[in-house]
Structure 1
Amino acid sequence: MSTTTLSAQLTSTTQASPQRCCFLLHVRPERLTEYVEIHQRVWQEMRQALTDCGWRHYSLFLRPEDGLVVGYFEADDTAAAMDAMSAQEVNTRWQAEMAQYFVQPDGGAAEVLHQYFYLA
Protein backbone atom coordinates (compact mmCIF):
# COMPACT_ATOMS: atom_id res chain seq x y z
CA MET A 1 0.00 0.00 0.00
CA SER A 2 1.42 3.40 -0.93
CA THR A 3 1.88 6.18 1.61
CA THR A 4 -0.71 8.26 -0.26
CA THR A 5 -3.27 5.44 -0.10
CA LEU A 6 -2.57 4.86 3.58
CA SER A 7 -2.88 8.58 4.36
CA ALA A 8 -6.24 8.68 2.60
CA GLN A 9 -7.40 5.63 4.54
CA LEU A 10 -6.29 7.17 7.86
CA THR A 11 -8.10 10.44 7.22
CA SER A 12 -11.30 8.72 6.08
CA THR A 13 -11.62 5.99 8.71
CA THR A 14 -14.91 5.92 10.59
CA GLN A 15 -12.93 5.63 13.82
CA ALA A 16 -11.28 9.04 13.42
CA SER A 17 -12.27 11.53 16.08
CA PRO A 18 -12.46 15.32 16.08
CA GLN A 19 -12.51 15.11 19.90
CA ARG A 20 -9.10 13.43 20.49
CA CYS A 21 -5.66 14.49 19.31
CA CYS A 22 -2.26 12.85 19.64
CA PHE A 23 1.01 14.42 18.57
CA LEU A 24 4.76 13.79 18.64
CA LEU A 25 7.69 16.03 19.50
CA HIS A 26 11.38 15.25 19.94
CA VAL A 27 13.32 16.95 22.73
CA ARG A 28 17.07 17.38 22.50
CA PRO A 29 18.48 14.61 24.73
CA GLU A 30 20.89 16.98 26.48
CA ARG A 31 17.95 19.27 27.42
CA LEU A 32 15.51 16.63 28.74
CA THR A 33 15.97 17.32 32.44
CA GLU A 34 15.40 21.05 32.04
CA TYR A 35 12.43 20.46 29.69
CA VAL A 36 10.72 18.19 32.23
CA GLU A 37 11.42 20.64 35.08
CA ILE A 38 9.85 23.52 33.15
CA HIS A 39 6.70 21.46 32.71
CA GLN A 40 6.41 21.14 36.48
CA ARG A 41 5.87 24.93 36.54
CA VAL A 42 3.82 25.73 33.42
CA TRP A 43 2.79 29.38 33.54
CA GLN A 44 -0.67 29.81 35.04
CA GLU A 45 -1.68 32.07 32.12
CA MET A 46 -0.68 29.28 29.70
CA ARG A 47 -2.70 26.72 31.65
CA GLN A 48 -5.69 29.10 31.64
CA ALA A 49 -5.38 29.74 27.89
CA LEU A 50 -5.41 26.00 27.20
CA THR A 51 -8.54 25.62 29.31
CA ASP A 52 -10.19 28.67 27.73
CA CYS A 53 -9.47 27.29 24.24
CA GLY A 54 -11.20 24.02 25.11
CA TRP A 55 -8.24 21.70 25.77
CA ARG A 56 -9.11 18.91 28.23
CA HIS A 57 -7.23 15.88 29.54
CA TYR A 58 -4.00 17.30 28.13
CA SER A 59 -1.14 14.92 28.88
CA LEU A 60 2.49 14.65 27.84
CA PHE A 61 4.39 11.36 27.91
CA LEU A 62 8.17 11.03 27.55
CA ARG A 63 10.49 8.28 26.36
CA PRO A 64 13.75 9.37 28.05
CA GLU A 65 15.99 7.16 25.92
CA ASP A 66 15.59 9.39 22.86
CA GLY A 67 13.49 12.38 23.92
CA LEU A 68 10.30 11.30 22.18
CA VAL A 69 7.32 13.21 23.60
CA VAL A 70 3.78 12.00 22.95
CA GLY A 71 1.08 14.57 23.62
CA TYR A 72 -2.62 13.88 23.94
CA PHE A 73 -5.63 16.09 24.54
CA GLU A 74 -9.37 16.15 24.07
CA ALA A 75 -11.67 18.97 22.99
CA ASP A 76 -15.10 19.32 21.44
CA ASP A 77 -13.22 20.06 18.18
CA THR A 78 -9.45 19.54 18.42
CA ALA A 79 -8.70 21.43 15.20
CA ALA A 80 -10.65 24.45 16.44
CA ALA A 81 -8.99 24.20 19.87
CA MET A 82 -5.53 24.14 18.25
CA ASP A 83 -6.43 27.11 16.05
CA ALA A 84 -7.74 29.04 19.06
CA MET A 85 -4.58 28.28 21.00
CA SER A 86 -2.32 29.36 18.14
CA ALA A 87 -3.99 32.80 18.27
CA GLN A 88 -3.14 33.30 21.96
CA GLU A 89 -0.31 35.71 22.74
CA VAL A 90 0.78 33.60 25.71
CA ASN A 91 1.09 30.58 23.41
CA THR A 92 3.35 32.54 21.07
CA ARG A 93 5.63 33.36 24.01
CA TRP A 94 5.52 29.78 25.35
CA GLN A 95 6.33 28.25 21.95
CA ALA A 96 9.23 30.68 21.46
CA GLU A 97 10.60 29.64 24.86
CA MET A 98 10.10 25.91 24.16
CA ALA A 99 11.60 25.91 20.63
CA GLN A 100 15.14 25.68 22.06
CA TYR A 101 14.35 22.21 23.44
CA PHE A 102 13.11 20.58 20.25
CA VAL A 103 15.02 18.87 17.46
CA GLN A 104 12.29 19.26 14.82
CA PRO A 105 13.67 20.87 11.68
CA ASP A 106 10.66 23.20 11.47
CA GLY A 107 11.32 24.75 14.88
CA GLY A 108 9.39 22.39 17.10
CA ALA A 109 6.02 22.03 15.38
CA ALA A 110 4.31 18.86 16.52
CA GLU A 111 3.56 15.99 14.18
CA VAL A 112 -0.17 15.23 14.59
CA LEU A 113 -1.08 11.55 14.41
CA HIS A 114 -4.29 10.18 12.92
CA GLN A 115 -6.56 8.01 15.05
CA TYR A 116 -7.57 4.85 13.23
CA PHE A 117 -8.96 2.71 16.08
CA TYR A 118 -10.86 3.48 19.27
CA LEU A 119 -12.31 1.11 21.85
CA ALA A 120 -14.98 2.98 23.78
Structure 2
Amino acid sequence: MTAASATAASASTTADGTAAEAARVRHLLDTTAARSPRRSCFLLRVRPDKLADYLEIHQRVWSEMLQALSACGWHDYSLFVDPDTGLVVGYFESDDADAARRAMAATAVNTRWQAEMAQYFQQPDGGTDRILSQYFFLP
Protein backbone atom coordinates (compact mmCIF):
# COMPACT_ATOMS: atom_id res chain seq x y z
CA MET A 1 0.00 0.00 0.00
CA THR A 2 1.43 3.38 -0.93
CA ALA A 3 1.46 6.34 1.42
CA ALA A 4 -1.25 8.00 -0.65
CA SER A 5 -3.56 4.99 -0.65
CA ALA A 6 -3.05 4.35 3.06
CA THR A 7 -3.92 7.93 3.84
CA ALA A 8 -6.86 7.92 1.45
CA ALA A 9 -8.25 4.84 3.13
CA SER A 10 -8.00 6.45 6.55
CA ALA A 11 -9.36 9.81 5.34
CA SER A 12 -12.73 8.67 3.99
CA THR A 13 -14.29 10.63 6.85
CA THR A 14 -12.76 13.03 9.32
CA ALA A 15 -13.09 13.17 13.09
CA ASP A 16 -16.32 15.13 12.71
CA GLY A 17 -17.56 12.47 10.27
CA THR A 18 -18.21 14.58 7.20
CA ALA A 19 -17.30 13.34 3.76
CA ALA A 20 -16.89 16.92 2.51
CA GLU A 21 -14.28 17.68 5.15
CA ALA A 22 -12.50 14.41 4.37
CA ALA A 23 -12.40 15.33 0.68
CA ARG A 24 -11.01 18.76 1.54
CA VAL A 25 -8.32 17.21 3.75
CA ARG A 26 -7.42 14.67 1.04
CA HIS A 27 -7.14 17.47 -1.55
CA LEU A 28 -4.87 19.54 0.72
CA LEU A 29 -2.63 16.57 1.45
CA ASP A 30 -2.48 15.55 -2.22
CA THR A 31 -1.58 19.04 -3.44
CA THR A 32 0.71 20.42 -0.75
CA ALA A 33 4.16 21.45 -1.93
CA ALA A 34 5.58 19.93 1.28
CA ARG A 35 4.89 16.36 0.08
CA SER A 36 8.03 14.44 -0.60
CA PRO A 37 8.68 11.05 -2.17
CA ARG A 38 11.93 10.98 -0.15
CA ARG A 39 10.53 11.05 3.41
CA SER A 40 8.28 8.53 5.13
CA CYS A 41 6.73 8.57 8.59
CA PHE A 42 4.59 5.86 10.15
CA LEU A 43 2.92 4.75 13.38
CA LEU A 44 2.95 1.41 15.19
CA ARG A 45 1.42 0.42 18.55
CA VAL A 46 3.42 -1.75 20.96
CA ARG A 47 1.76 -3.61 23.80
CA PRO A 48 2.61 -1.78 27.05
CA ASP A 49 3.43 -5.09 28.78
CA LYS A 50 5.98 -5.87 26.03
CA LEU A 51 7.46 -2.40 25.54
CA ALA A 52 10.70 -2.95 27.49
CA ASP A 53 11.40 -6.15 25.53
CA TYR A 54 10.59 -4.40 22.24
CA LEU A 55 12.96 -1.53 23.05
CA GLU A 56 15.67 -3.93 24.18
CA ILE A 57 15.56 -6.00 20.98
CA HIS A 58 16.02 -2.80 18.97
CA GLN A 59 19.34 -2.25 20.75
CA ARG A 60 20.64 -5.31 18.87
CA VAL A 61 18.89 -5.40 15.48
CA TRP A 62 20.19 -8.27 13.35
CA SER A 63 23.07 -7.17 11.15
CA GLU A 64 21.34 -8.87 8.19
CA MET A 65 18.29 -6.67 8.80
CA LEU A 66 20.40 -3.51 8.97
CA GLN A 67 22.17 -4.49 5.74
CA ALA A 68 18.83 -5.14 4.00
CA LEU A 69 17.43 -1.77 5.08
CA SER A 70 20.50 -0.01 3.68
CA ALA A 71 20.49 -2.09 0.48
CA CYS A 72 16.80 -1.25 -0.06
CA GLY A 73 17.58 2.46 0.17
CA TRP A 74 16.52 3.29 3.74
CA HIS A 75 18.66 5.90 5.51
CA ASP A 76 18.28 8.36 8.35
CA TYR A 77 15.89 5.82 9.86
CA SER A 78 14.70 6.58 13.39
CA LEU A 79 12.12 5.14 15.76
CA PHE A 80 10.57 7.20 18.55
CA VAL A 81 8.30 5.94 21.33
CA ASP A 82 5.80 7.33 23.82
CA PRO A 83 6.59 5.13 26.82
CA ASP A 84 3.20 5.82 28.39
CA THR A 85 1.15 4.48 25.46
CA GLY A 86 3.49 2.31 23.37
CA LEU A 87 2.92 4.55 20.33
CA VAL A 88 5.94 4.23 18.02
CA VAL A 89 6.70 6.83 15.36
CA GLY A 90 9.04 5.71 12.60
CA TYR A 91 10.77 7.98 10.11
CA PHE A 92 13.16 7.29 7.26
CA GLU A 93 14.45 8.87 4.10
CA SER A 94 15.19 7.35 0.71
CA ASP A 95 15.48 8.41 -2.92
CA ASP A 96 12.02 6.86 -3.34
CA ALA A 97 10.37 5.96 -0.02
CA ASP A 98 7.54 3.93 -1.58
CA ALA A 99 10.01 1.88 -3.65
CA ALA A 100 12.22 1.39 -0.59
CA ARG A 101 9.21 0.11 1.40
CA ARG A 102 8.28 -2.33 -1.38
CA ALA A 103 11.86 -3.55 -1.72
CA MET A 104 12.17 -4.15 2.02
CA ALA A 105 8.82 -5.95 2.17
CA ALA A 106 10.11 -8.39 -0.46
CA THR A 107 13.17 -9.48 1.55
CA ALA A 108 13.31 -12.77 3.43
CA VAL A 109 15.00 -11.16 6.43
CA ASN A 110 12.16 -8.64 6.77
CA THR A 111 9.62 -11.48 6.73
CA ARG A 112 11.53 -13.18 9.56
CA TRP A 113 11.93 -9.92 11.49
CA GLN A 114 8.23 -9.05 11.21
CA ALA A 115 7.26 -12.55 12.38
CA GLU A 116 9.52 -12.10 15.41
CA MET A 117 8.15 -8.60 16.13
CA ALA A 118 4.46 -9.58 15.86
CA GLN A 119 4.30 -10.65 19.52
CA TYR A 120 5.09 -7.09 20.64
CA PHE A 121 2.31 -5.26 18.83
CA GLN A 122 -1.17 -4.41 20.03
CA GLN A 123 -3.78 -6.43 18.21
CA PRO A 124 -5.55 -6.52 15.89
CA ASP A 125 -3.39 -4.19 13.76
CA GLY A 126 -0.82 -2.40 15.93
CA GLY A 127 1.96 -3.98 13.90
CA THR A 128 0.60 -2.72 10.58
CA ASP A 129 2.34 0.57 9.97
CA ARG A 130 -0.02 3.45 9.43
CA ILE A 131 1.68 5.81 7.01
CA LEU A 132 1.29 9.50 7.80
CA SER A 133 0.92 12.27 5.25
CA GLN A 134 3.46 15.05 5.23
CA TYR A 135 1.93 18.52 5.04
CA PHE A 136 4.71 20.82 6.24
CA PHE A 137 8.49 20.91 5.76
CA LEU A 138 11.12 23.41 6.80
CA PRO A 139 14.39 22.69 4.97
- What TM-score bracket applies, with the shorter chain setting the length? over 0.9
The partner residue of 2:33 within 10, 14, 23 is 14
Count of residues in correspondence between the two structures: 120
**Where does residue 2 of structure 1 map in the other structure?**
21
Unaligned runs of 5+ in 2: 1-19
User: 1:83 offset after TM fit, Å?
Assistant: 0.3
Are the counterparts in 1 of residues 44 and 126 from structure 2 also a CA contact under 8 Å? no
**Structure with the greater relative contact order (CA < 8 A, sep ≥ 6): 1 or 2?**
1
Is the partner of 2:117 in helix, strand or coil?
helix
CA distance in 2: counterparts of 1:11 and 1:91, whole angstroms: 30
Are the counterparts in 2 of residues 25 and 104 from structure 1 also a CA contact under 8 Å? no
- What amino acid is the match of 1:96? A
- What amino acid is the match of 1:112? I
CA distance in 2: counterparts of 1:103 and 1:8, whole angstroms: 31
CA distance in 1: counterparts of 2:26 and 2:86, whole angstroms: 26
Q: For the aligned residues, what is the CA RMSD?
A: 1.2
**Where does residue 42 of structure 2 map in the other structure?**
23
User: 1:104 offset after TM fit, Å?
Assistant: 4.5
Are the counterparts in 1 of residues 46 and 126 from structure 2 also a CA contact under 8 Å? no
- What amino acid is the match of 1:93? R
CA distance in 2: counterparts of 1:39 and 1:105, whole angstroms: 22
Are the counterparts in 1 of residues 44 and 87 from structure 2 also a CA contact under 8 Å? yes
The partner residue of 1:78 within 97, 107, 127 is 97
Are the counterparts in 2 of residues 17 and 115 from structure 1 also a CA contact under 8 Å? yes
Instruction: Show CA shifts across 1:6-59 (max 9, x none).
Output: 123212211100000110001000000000000001000000000000000000
- What amino acid is the match of 1:18? P
Match runs of 1:1-120 below 5 Å:
2-106=21-125, 108-120=127-139
Unaligned runs of 5+ in 1: none
TM-score in terms of structure 1 length: 0.95
Instruction: Give the 4+ runs in structure 1 shifted more than 6 A.
Output: none
User: 1:107 offset after TM fit, Å?
Assistant: 6.0
Higher alpha-carbon Rg: 2
TM-score in terms of structure 2 length: 0.82
